[in-house]
């Protein structure tokens, strides 16, 4: 299995603190040694750093840790291969363009007997179930919204509902936790395990679960900042993370989750100060 990390904010924010702990899981504090990747949206552009080597040893990860790229939407992934060899083309997150926007996708889980029919517009380059699911998602979105506009905000509710239906359809083939972003919003789907935290004023002093590192966010933020961090399991051991109920797709915008109206979000709090591996 793999690990996911996402960030969605109302002001461009660097992910250095969370990434430091997340990265340790790629070979140091956990066994996800089969590559890693991270994508940052900056305006309409996206920067994707991929490395098929373990994140704990990666010079690219070292750069990302020390070079504060500020972004409204970030998606990162460390891999424990289930389907597809350890190769660059099988390294998450994956990127495609649809409606003149980049889309970034990363998956945690394992899909079995998943062989959808594709139109050919989006085709996997590698051999993972994850990239196939991403291509299928975009293929269906392109068919459902052929006139897709640059102002995705207009389509928001419809897009959210369509993605929810697709997540349920694909999820019938197995575990399908994923993060997806077009730079405007970040979708987080929980099939088995995915949690989040919203940090806003008054900001906490947070301590990483995977490294002995503490940060006082009051020193690096303004009172109006709001930052949502989404992860497979909590990254800090002294904050209260909210588990996303299995079967839910949240859309994070401006640093907070917007639930789909017709779904019920059953938030389950993790006990404070506990690293839960739910």
Distance in Å, CB of 100 to its own copies, minimum: 4
Asked if 88 is part of the footprint of its own copies (rule: CB under 8 A), the reply reads yes
Spatial contact of 263 and 236, defined as CB atoms under 8 Å apart: no
Residue among 88 and 157 whose Cβ is closer to its own copies: 88
**Which position among 22, 99, 196, 241 is part of the footprint of its own copies (CB under 8 A)?**
99
SS3 per residue for the chain:
CCEEEEEEEEEEECCHHHHHHHHHCECCCCECCCCEEEEEEECCEEEEEEECCCHHHCHHHHHHHHCCCCEEEEEEEECCCCCCCCCHHHCCCEEEEECCEEEEEEEEEEECCCCCCCCCCCCCCCCCHHHHHHHHHHHHHHHHCCCCCCCHHHHHHHHHHHHHHHHHHHHCCEEEEEEEECCCCEEEEECCCCEEEEEECCCCEEEECCCCCEEEHHHCCCCCCEEEEEECCCCECCCCCEECCCCEEEEEECCEEEECCCCCCCCEECCCCCCCCC
**Which position among 97, 154, 158, 216 is part of the footprint of its own copies (CB under 8 A)?**
97
- From the list 236, 240, 228, the residue with the least C-alpha distance to 211 is 236
Residue among 45 and 223 whose Cβ is closer to its own copies: 45
d(CA 206, CA 47): 27
Beta-bridge partners for 250 = 188, 259
| 195 counts as catalytic | no
Spatial contact of 3 and 77, defined as CB atoms under 8 Å apart: yes
Asked if 89 is part of the footprint of its own copies (rule: CB under 8 A), the reply reads yes
| Size (the chain), residues | 278
Distance in Å, CB of 56 to its own copies, minimum: 16
Contact code string over 37-76 relative to its own copies, x by CB under 8 A: -----xxxxxxxxxxx------xx--x--xx---------
Contacts with its own copies: how many residues (CB under 8 A)? Answer: 36
Residue among 88 and 205 whose Cβ is closer to its own copies: 88
Asked if 95 is part of the footprint of its own copies (rule: CB under 8 A), the reply reads yes
Stretch of residues binding its own copies (CB under 8 A), selected from 76-84, 96-104, 167-175, 186-194 = 96-104
List 2, 9, 190, 195, catalytic entry: 2
Distance in Å, CB of 273 to its own copies, minimum: 36
**Which position among 10, 28, 30, 101 is part of the footprint of its own copies (CB under 8 A)?**
101
**Which position among 96, 140, 189, 199 is part of the footprint of its own copies (CB under 8 A)?**
96
Residue among 60 and 220 whose Cβ is closer to its own copies: 60
Contact code string over 116-155 relative to its own copies, x by CB under 8 A: ----xxxxxxx-------------------x---------
Q: Which residues bind its own copies (CB under 8 A)?
A: 42-52, 59-60, 63, 66-67, 87-91, 95-97, 99-102, 120-126, 146
Catalytic residue IDs? 2
């Amino acid at each position: 299995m793999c690990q996911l990390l996402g960030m969605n904010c109302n002001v461009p924010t660097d992910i250095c603190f969370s990434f430091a702990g997340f990265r340790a899981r790629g070979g140091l504090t956990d066994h996800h040694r089969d590559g890693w990747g991270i994508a940052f949206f900056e305006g309409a552009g996206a920067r994707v750093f991929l490395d098929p080597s373990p994140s704990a040893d990666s010079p690219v990860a070292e750069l990302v840790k020390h070079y504060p790229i500020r972004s409204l939407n970030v998606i990162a992934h460390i891999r424990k291969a289930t389907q597809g060899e350890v190769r660059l083309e099988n390294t998450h997150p994956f990127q495609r363009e649809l409606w003149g926007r980049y889309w970034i996708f990363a998956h945690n889980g394992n899909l079995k007997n998943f062989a959808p029919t594709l139109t050919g517009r989006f085709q996997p380059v590698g051999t993972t179930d994850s990239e196939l699911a991403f291509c299928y998602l975009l293929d269906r979105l392109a068919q459902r919204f052929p006139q897709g506009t640059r102002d995705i905000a207009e389509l928001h509710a419809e897009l959210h509902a369509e993605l929810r239906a697709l997540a349920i359809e694909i999820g019938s083939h197995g575990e399908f936790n994923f993060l997806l972003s077009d730079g405007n919003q970040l979708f987080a789907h929980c099939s088995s395990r995915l949690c989040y935290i919203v940090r806003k004023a008054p900001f906490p002093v947070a301590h990483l679960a995977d490294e002995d590192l503490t940060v006082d966010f009051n020193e690096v933020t303004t009172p109006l900042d709001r930052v949502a961090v989404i992860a497979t399991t909590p990254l800090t051991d002294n904050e209260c993370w909210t588990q996303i109920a299995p079967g839910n797709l949240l859309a994070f915008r401006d640093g907070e989750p917007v639930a789909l109206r017709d779904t019920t979000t059953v938030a389950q709090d993790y006990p404070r100060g506990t690293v839960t591996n739910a």
